[in-house]
Amino acid sequence: MIAWWSALALASECPPAHADELEQTLGRAERAYADLDEETFLHELDELAVRTPCLAEPLSPTLVARYHRAIALRLYGTSPDRALASVGASRAADPTLTLPWVAPDHPLGLAWAAAPDPATDRLPRPRHGVLWLDGEAVRARPESRAALVQWFPEGGEPTSSLVFPDDPFPSYTHVSPLRQGLAVGAVGSFALAAGAWAGALVARGDFAQPDHDLTELQRLRTTANGLAIGSGVLVLAGGGLLGASFVVDRP
């Protein structure tokens, strides 16, 4: 049987869902849980699962926190590890949110009282558009918490999905990490070239000062020439790295 949360990735061709609609669904689910109305609670969470891939706009951190909290309540009976990952996500998204329906000594209550794990993994920079995780435009994926991932490409359809720590990250158009490394190398080469050229100018200026003996003049000339040549080599290296960064990641 396909797990309940898999429905988050299966919906297709659905009408756009907006934040206020999601908030209404969460409100009904929370009231049903407080009233011990399991049937209505499960129905609203099923609706939440179906509508998640169709989100047309970023959710606020507070709404994301309520989203993860509802998921934690839904999953605890069947997948406690994922429920705890959702608790961590909810606490991280909005630390002021509470969990009023669960006793403090319940596993969910104990997890709620603990500080969420802050560890994250860096994500590649989007080539275009904006990547949102849990209500913020960031480029770091939590290592042990769930995350609501929303990708808003330029000129394309937005996609949203709930991701747990053991799930593969949703695909999005991003810049190759190699390109980023080459670009950083190019910037570093240009910076070193500027420093070398400045050093050459200083040496040449000192060369023109009086009271230098022949040995000092030879040393200053050698230094100035060496730094000038080095600066040129670094500029060429930086240009090569920069050019390669554009070639390596062409779409």
What percent of the chain lies above the pLDDT cut of 70? 66
What pLDDT score does 55 carry? 92
What's the whole-number mean pLDDT along residues 66-89? Answer: 96
- Taking only the tens place, the pLDDT of each residue in 4-19 is 555 444 444 678 899 9
Task: Out of 15-19, 26-30, 87-91, 244-248, pick the least confident.
Answer: 244-248
What pLDDT score does 178 carry? 53
Q: In this predicted model, which residue has the larger pLDDT, 210 or 136?
A: 136
Whole-number Å distance between alpha carbons of 29 and 70: 8
Whole-number Å distance between alpha carbons of 22 and 18: 6
Helix (H, G, I), strand (E, B) or coil at 17: strand
Whole-number Å distance between alpha carbons of 47 and 51: 6
Q: In this predicted model, which residue has the larger pLDDT, 196 or 88?
A: 88
H and E: helices and strands count for the chain = 7, 6
What pLDDT score does 9 carry? 46
Q: In this predicted model, which residue has the larger pLDDT, 23 or 199?
A: 23
Q: What angle do CA 143, 25, 21 make, to 5 degrees?
A: 95
Q: Where does the pLDDT of residue 115 fall: very low under 50, low under 70, confident under 90, or very high at 90 and above?
A: very high
For residue 117 the two structure tokens come to 């794990």
55 in Cβ contact with 160 (< 8 Å): yes
What pLDDT score does 41 carry? 96
- Given a cut of 70, whether residue 211 has pLDDT beyond it is no
128 in Cβ contact with 173 (< 8 Å): yes
What pLDDT score does 2 carry? 37
Whole-number Å distance between alpha carbons of 193 and 137: 35
What pLDDT score does 1 carry? 32
Q: How many CB atoms lie within 10 A of CB 10?
A: 10
Task: Out of 49-53, 65-69, 83-87, 107-111, pick the least confident.
Answer: 49-53
What pLDDT score does 73 carry? 96
- Given a cut of 70, whether residue 244 has pLDDT beyond it is no
DSSP state of 94: -
What pLDDT score does 120 carry? 93
Look-up: residue for tokens 């420093």?
195
Q: Where does the pLDDT of residue 241 fall: very low under 50, low under 70, confident under 90, or very high at 90 and above?
A: very low
Q: For residue 68, with 0-12 CB atoms within 10 Å meaning exposed, 13-18 middle and 19 or more buried, which class applies?
A: buried
Q: Over the chain, what is the mean pLDDT?
A: 81
Whole-number Å distance between alpha carbons of 76 and 71: 8
